[in-house]
Amino acid sequence: KDIEYIRSSYYNKLEYTRFSSSVGKHVGFTEYGVKNAEYWNNNPSYLSAMKAQKEGYCLNNIQIKYDNAL
């Protein structure tokens, strides 16, 4: 519930897009990033694959990371 999957894209140390599982879509931070985010958000299969990353990656590995932290 409080786990969030975030995928950021950078170029020359500048973040231009970010996907957040809590928002459920890509957000663009530059002109190029806004165009990419709009394209990715209009592709339902890609967007559903990104939303599934939270369950596929985060929820499967959270217990491992939690045990290592303790």
Residue 59 has pLDDT above 90, yes or no: no
**Which domains are assigned to the chain?**
6-68 (3.10.320.10)
Q: What are the backbone angles phi and psi of residue 31, rounded to the nearest 5°?
A: -60, -45
**pLDDT tens column, 16-57:** 999 998 899 999 999 999 999 999 999 999 999 998 888 887
The pLDDT, as a whole number, for residue 70 is 63
Q: What was the pLDDT predicted at 9?
A: 95
For the segment 6-18, the average pLDDT, to the nearest whole number, is 95
State both tokens at 11.
């170029």
Question: In the predicted model, is pLDDT for residue 69 greater than 70?
Answer: no
d(CA 5, CA 20): 6
Q: What is the Cα–Cα distance from 59 to 37, expressed in whole angstroms?
A: 25
Residue 64 φ/ψ, nearest 5 degrees: -65, -45
> 32 near 39, Cβ under 8 Å?
no
Alpha helices (H) along the chain: 31-41, 44-53, 59-69
